[in-house]
Amino acid sequence: MRTQVAIIGAGPAGLTLGRLLEGAGIDAVIIEQRSADYVLGRIRAGVLEQSSVDLLRQMGVNQRMDAEGIFHDGIELSFDGEMLRVDFNELIARRVMVYGQTEVTRDLMDARTASGAKSIYEASDVHIHDFDGETPRVTFTKDGQTHQIECDFIAGCDGFHGVSRASVPPSAISLFERVYPFGWLGVLVDQPPVAEELIYAHHKRGFALCSMRSLTRSRYYVQVDSTEKAENWSDDRFWDELRARLNPDIAESLKTGRSIEKSIAPLRSFVAEPLRFGRLFLTGDAAHIVPPTGAKGLNMAIHDVMELATALKEFYGERSDAGINAYSGKVLENTWRTERFSWWMTQLLHTFPDSGDFGRRIQRADFDYLAASRLARQSLAENYTGFRA
């Protein structure tokens, strides 16, 4: 098989890139290790920056998003029960949309199926070859047979544990990582959200987050030690702990119920440099990971593939290497800026085991500064809604 671009991974990064290339008349095949049902079964949050919303509309995959997505004009912060609203719309005339990553993936997947663009699911033993030369290849096994795809470029959209980054020689790549000593225990419940906007709560017992998937389905999180197991937490224990970390009035109005999904997500900050290796490009979680505190992971992946699609259009349309040569530097500039913001939000809102009383007083000073300074709130709003230089 021959194609122009082989895309490894059918998550939102790979599907978005495929849609953008399809719109530009560039042939691309998506190769995914898992089944389509497995990909859609992964539960992920979804807070979309306006630029991400605009792109999904531009690609024509916005019908359900526009009908079901919920625009938020701000967020609520809480410190030991004291509340502070950060009003994005009033501060910088921007807002974000709550629309689940799973739903974004479904919309993109349905659009690709409808257009007839080729996707290969349940491809095992995926390997990439010769990406440092002019004729890269992807090999994989499907239904017991070995297949090969020859291509011009390979886009690694296959996540943190995927084959793309693992195929790069260690001497050619630098990795930067911080693993946090805690995770988020999350519960999904069919109950209306406790508030109209997301609530990020700092408490001496640990961080908590009140979020939503829709007007009838809510997602709640509490910070737990990295060694914790979800099965150790009954629903009652979770609800009691969440209430203890929230403002009393918010806790009183919380509607609980039987959890329909419960899991623990570890937290890490991670960046790989560079992001281009000959004709292989890393995007999304293959290139970087951020803690979910700043709601940035999906938006970063979309930003990456927007840059890559633009570079590939320039290559095929103008026979220019300028875009692909600039890809790594442009994406890393945005990556480190976003890593800083996500790290700062994580530092502000979580309880760290070694920070002690001094650390909590610094966190309190940060919260008080946000409350007192419009410029500080503007900075938070600008970064949360998507800063672009």
Catalytic residues: 72, 200, 292, 296, 384
Cβ(239)–Cβ(224) below 8 Å: no
Tokens of 12: 């939102």
User: How far apart (Å, rounded) are the C-alpha atoms in residues 75 and 86?
Assistant: 5
C-alpha distances (whole Å) from 383 to each of 96, 294, 305, 349, 379 are: 11, 9, 20, 16, 6
Tokens of 219: 């997602």
Q: Are 81 and 248 in contact (CB under 8 A)?
A: yes
- Report d(CA 378, CA 370) in Å as an integer: 9
Beta bridge partners of 199: 76, 210
Q: Spell out where the chain has E strands.
A: 5-8, 28-31, 47-48, 70-72, 74-79, 82-87, 96-98, 119-120, 124-129, 137-142, 145-150, 153-156, 174-189, 199-202, 208-212, 218-225, 261-273, 276-277, 280-282, 288-289
Does an H or E element contain 91, and which?
Answer: helix 88-92
> Residue 176's Cα: distance from chain center in Å?
18
